[in-house]
């Protein structure tokens, strides 16, 4: 599992691959925080297309990303959400807080 990041024009693109579970959540959150501190983006696009499994730990990652980006005056996009992850996020009502594309 990995998070591949790149920044362009104050937009951070982060693609997450593999499983997003309680074993990996701390690592993902630390990398996301590091990238946000480094780039200070106005917008963040999280690409979940490579996620093979997500549990409730993924909810914490998305909410943290939303909180951090909002504090920077920016916006969060979540794209390529796999069906299994979408079910977890919808069950928790995350789709009411942010668009899941």
Distance (Å, rounded) from C-alpha 18 to C-alpha 37? Answer: 24
User: What would the pLDDT profile of 19-39 be if each residue is shown by its tens digit?
Assistant: 999 999 999 999 999 999 999
**Whether the predicted pLDDT of 1 surpasses 80:** no
Residues 50/17, Cβ–Cβ less than 8 Å: yes
pTM of the full predicted structure? 0.92
CA geometry: angle 71, 75, 80, nearest 5 deg: 135
Residues 19/1, Cβ–Cβ less than 8 Å: yes
User: What would the pLDDT profile of 28-67 be if each residue is shown by its tens digit?
Assistant: 999 999 999 999 999 999 999 999 999 999 999 999 999 9
Would you say how long the chain is, in residues?
A: 101
User: Over pLDDT 90: what percentage of the chain?
Assistant: 97
Predicted local distance difference test score (pLDDT) of residue 20 = 94
What structural domains and CATH numbers belong to the chain? Answer: 2-96 (3.30.750.24)
Phi, psi of 56 (to 5 degrees): -65, -15
Instruction: Please report where in the chains the tokens 């928790």 appear, as a residue.
Output: 92
């Amino acid at each position: 599992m990995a998070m591949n990041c790149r920044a362009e024009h104050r937009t951070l693109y982060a693609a997450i691959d593999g499983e997003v579970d309680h074993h990996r959540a701390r690592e993902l959150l630390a990398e996301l925080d590091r990238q946000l501190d480094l780039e200070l983006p106005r917008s963040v696009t999280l690409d979940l297309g490579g996620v093979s499994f997500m549990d409730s730990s993924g909810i914490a990652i998305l909410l943290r990303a939303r909180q951090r980006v909002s504090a920077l005056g920016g916006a969060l996009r979540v794209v390529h959400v796999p069906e299994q992850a979408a079910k977890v996020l919808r069950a928790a009502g995350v789709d009411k807080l942010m668009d899941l594309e």
